[in-house]
Every structure is written in C-alpha cells, then in structure tokens.
Amino acid sequence: MSERWQRVRHHPGAVAALFLLPAGFGFVVFYLWPALRALWMSFTDYNVLRGSGDWVGLQNYQDLAADPLFWHSMRVTALYVVLNIGVQTALALAMAVMMDRLTRSAVVRGVLVLPWLIPQVVVGLLWLWMLDPRLGVVNHALDWVGIGGQDFFGSPAQVIPTLAGVNTWRFVGYTALLIFAGLQMIPRHLYEAAALDGAGEWRTFWRVTLPLLRPVLALVLVLSVVGSFQVFDLVQVATGGIGGQPGGPANSSLVIYVYIFRHAFNFNNAGYAAAMSAVLAVLLAAVTFFIMRALRGSRSDLA
C-alpha cells in the first residue's frame, strides 16, 4: 500500500486530481448536467406536467425573437439593473469611503448589513405593506410632510424604481462592506504621501482611492449586475398585490425571470422557458466579459 502511495505522490497531477474530485463531482452533477439538460430542453417543447418533450429544433428561439413580451421583459429588466446598480454602487462607495476615513466601528458595519440578513421574500412583503398606496406607513409620512401619497408598486412609472430602491436598501450595506474590504488593501503610506503633496480629500479619492480600488469595483459590479438580472422573488412577492398576478400593473414590472417562471410553471412551457434562460445566460456572460475588460478587472495597479 505504501508503495502505491509513493507512486501517486510523485505525480502531482494525480494528487491534484484527487483533491479536485469532490468539487468536480459536484460541478458535473449539480451544474454541468442541469445546464446541458436545460440547453437540450430549449430545443424541445418540454412540458413540466407531461414530463416529456419532442424535438422542435430552433422553434423556441424563433418564437422568442417574435415575442413582444420577451423583449419587453428584457427592457424592464435592463431598466431595473441600470437603476439598481447605479444607485447602489454610488451609495455603497460613498458609505465605504466614509467608513474607511471616519470610523472603523464594527457596530456601524454590523448595522449596515442588517437588511441583508432578512430573506428577500420577507423584505418584499414588508415593503408591500409599508408602501401600500392607502394604508402604508410611508405614504402617511409623505402626507404628513406635505409631499403627498405615491402609488409605488401600483404605478407603471414607479414600480421599477421602487423595486430598485427596495433592493438597494437591502444590498447597499453588503456592497459597501465588499468595497470597504478593498479599501483596506490600499497601503496607508499612499494617503500620507498624497497629504504631504497637498492633495485634499476629494483629489485623494479620485487620484488614489478609485484607481487602486478598480479590481475590487469590477468584481463588485459583476456580482451585483448578475445578481440584479436575477431579480425574481422580490417582484413575485411585492407586485400585483396579495394574491394577484405578479409583474403588474400592465406588465410594467414583468422582469425576465418572472416571465421565465410564468412560462415554465404556470403555462407548462418549460422548453420555451429554457430557450429564454439560454439567451439570458449568453447575455450575462457577455456583460461580465465587458465589465471585466472595460475595468481591467483582473489586473491591479498596486503590483
């Protein structure tokens, strides 16, 4: 036995393979196989209830290209992502820099991530009640200060900004912490040098902090962009009212995953849903590639 072990030990490749085996097994069973099966499904008319499907070739992709609701839901999702990422990243960056420059208190950091600890479904229900146009506490407050009630989830114009706002509220602390961790990696002496050279806070931020934070920002952007494309539970719970059809009013909050879910599990069109998911996967890969490329995310100026 020891002789065989010796032989294995002298082949680093074999040892590495041994260590990779558990993760590799998980990857194949839980990621690769389902992804391939979903891809196959997208070329069939797979029906969840029937549990089977026939090969239809590119039919689902042709239908999808001609489906106005698919493109509508893509636009809705894009609007949500832009609003969400814009506000969330800017706020998180400001919060992280302030934490870094003003306080290192663990209590402050703890408070910031509190909303992130609440499950998204609970967040959705909570805000549905708080933002109810007539009975919600938020509109009572707005009435009191003289702004007047808003429709929030009930208005086609406000529903996406509202959803983005709720999501920002939940995630901004978490994103701020990620950026804060990145800030800690910037050597202190660079700030001292900048101060000696007479740079103010504003100039230091643009010339020292931001360039050195770039790789971390790229990672944060990729994570949050992909994450916000996947918005589902919040919309499913908070729109359409209690017991109503999610995605309303008039499809104004029909984000792509709600539409995919509807086809897969309400209309039993798993094939069509799989085709939409495949298009979305390609799109997300492209967006990720673009962000990493544009921000040169895999290289740091510190090196």
Partner 1 sequence: MKLSWRRRIAVPLCAALLAAAACSGGTGDDENVTLDYWLWDDRQIPQYQECATAFTGQTGINVKITQYGWEDYWSNLNTQFAARRAPDVFTDHLAFYPSFVQNQVILPINEYVERDNVDLGQYYPGLADLWVGQDGKRYGLPKDWDTIALAYNSTMLADAGLSREDVWEATWNPTDGGTFEDIIARLSVDENGVRGNEPGFDPTKVATYGLSFDNPSNSASGQTSWGNFARSLGFELLADGNPWGTDYQFDDPRLAQTLDWFARMVKAGYVTPLADLQGVGYVSLFEAGDVALAINGSWAISSFTGISGVNVDFAPLPTGPQGRWSIYNGLADAISANTAHPDEAWQWVKYLASAECQNVVGEKAVVFPAIPASLEVGEQARERAGLDVSAYTTYLESQNTFLYPVTVNFDQVTQAVGAAVDEILLGNRPAAEALTAAQQQVDSIMGR
Which residues are near partner 1 by CB under 8 A?
A: 47-51, 128-129, 131-136, 151-156, 239-246, 248-251, 262, 265-268
CA pair distance 180, 96, nearest whole angstrom: 5
Q: Which of 194/238 has CB closer to partner 1?
A: 238
Taking residue 270's Cβ as centre, other Cβ atoms within 10 Å add up to 25
CA pair distance 275, 39, nearest whole angstrom: 7
CA pair distance 183, 205, nearest whole angstrom: 11
Largest CA distance in the chain: 84
User: Closest distance between partner 1 and the C-beta of residue 209, in Å?
Assistant: 43
CA pair distance 155, 124, nearest whole angstrom: 16
User: Closest distance between partner 1 and the C-beta of residue 160, in Å?
Assistant: 14
For 108, the enclosing helix (H) or strand (E) is: helix 106-112
Q: Which of 227/249 has CB closer to partner 1?
A: 249
User: Would you say 229 and 81 are in contact if contact means Cβ atoms under 8 Å apart?
Assistant: yes
User: Closest distance between partner 1 and the C-beta of residue 150, in Å?
Assistant: 9
Q: Which of 251/288 has CB closer to partner 1?
A: 251
Q: Which of 182/240 has CB closer to partner 1?
A: 240
- Amino acid 42 reads S
Q: Which of 52/103 has CB closer to partner 1?
A: 52
Q: Which of 249/292 has CB closer to partner 1?
A: 249
User: Closest distance between partner 1 and the C-beta of residue 61, in Å?
Assistant: 18
Q: Please list, in sequence order, all residues whose beta carbon lies within 8 angstroms of the beta carbon of residue 60, skipping any fewer than 6 positions away.
A: 42, 43, 45, 271, 272, 274, 275
User: Closest distance between partner 1 and the C-beta of residue 129, in Å?
Assistant: 6
User: Closest distance between partner 1 and the C-beta of residue 157, in Å?
Assistant: 10
CA pair distance 24, 17, nearest whole angstrom: 9
